[in-house]
Amino acid sequence: MVDSGSIGLHDLSFATTRFVLPHTELARHNGTEIDKYHLGIGQRSMSVPAVDEDIVTMAAAAARPLVARHGTDGLRTLVFATETSIDQAKAAGVYVHSLLGLPSSTRVVELKQACYSATAALQFAVALVHRDPGQRVLVIASDVSKYDLDSPGEATQGAAAVAMLVSADPALLRVEAPSGLFTADVMDFWRPNYRDTALVDGQESISAYLQAVEGAWKDYGEQGGRGLEEFTAICYHQPFTKMAYKAHRHLLHCCGEDTDDALIARVLGRTTAYNSVVGNSYTASVYLGLAALLDTAEDLSGQAVGFLSYGSGSVAEFFAGTVVPGYRAHLRTNTHREAIDAREPIDYAAYRDLRGSRLPADGTEHLLPRQTQGPYRLAGICDHKRLYEPC
């Protein structure tokens, strides 16, 4: 056995889509003042999938660099977290397993609980490694967020995948043992099986999020967690980046702390750099915040980072990690920035065309045009079977 404090993130990589819709285009379409987006919700653009991109292609693209760097020895589990699953039975991770050529002696499972499930996957992975320190676990969070066209949620859409390799003696972040947990049965955001887009009660969702922050933090303290003053930064789930600021301000208020804007910005500012231009990536969101923090902050070696993971419906967890000295030598900062900068801007009409693309529901053969510039693509569907291929 190993101490749980010596288990955590050994590597992290993310991927997004080929296309991006700037919020200036959305504002031009609907006549909204651009400050409502740039300042009001803190969003500047949203990633938009090509017709041959989905949660599987993004997930495989995010995980490929981890497998290339570390190989597959000891990799016995792949946990795929998503709330935009492509199948009611088969885990999306099985397709990723095939595309990456992982060993057959691998456990693959998919987890779901709105935007929270990647944190459940991470905790699952930590427990597996604690039981057998020779194992490594691949955790992937991948989602495409969609809301009805011309709805208030449309401006918060996005798409991304984050892949994390969990191991003993990690190179990036040690995950600490105490977790604060919170669950409440609320209908703030949900997507029935018969819908492609989510349903959301905006005000209820904000209230439920803040209630979950307070509840998870209270339980974290009762489990012996750190004091709020110990955290250099906190990565919140970001359905839109200003929600992280609302959440942290609420937490400070609950703790009787000063809600000074400059102090809040120091704790949160760097965690929003990627989410503000990618949009809401659901399960990947909080870990996209971690990627941004590690890529843009000064040396964080030995410092504590907090995580508040929230999934509507609702489930939340607060936990902490310690940044490993020397972590910067293992980052993929340039690759991450290239993934964002390489996206092709599109106008609103092109975005509407992409949103209108549908696979047939009758199982007939339907091949998709090659649009993605990523390493994997959804080639089409035949006999109700999705067909993936390397590019």
For the annotated catalytic residues, the residue numbers are: 83, 115, 237
Give buried/exposed letters for 187-214 (b at 16+ CB in 10 A, else e). ebbebeeeeebbebeeeebbebbbbbbb
Residue carrying structure tokens 């503000």: 276
DSSP type of residue 255: T
**Count of helix runs (H) and strand runs (E) in the chain:** 12, 17
**Which two tokens mark 292?**
């941004």
Closest CA to 313 of 21, 46, 83: 83
CA distance 202 to 152: 8
Opening angle at CA 41, ends 39 and 44, nearest 5: 70
Q: Put the strands of the sheet holding 315-323 in their side by side order.
A: 107-111, 75-81, 136-145, 158-168, 7-15, 173-183, 315-323, 304-311, 231-236
End-to-end CA distance of the chain: 42
CA distance 7 to 238: 25
- Could you give the dihedral angle defined by the CA atoms of residues 391, 284, 115 and 390, in that order, rounded to the nearest 10 degrees? 10
CA distance 244 to 254: 15
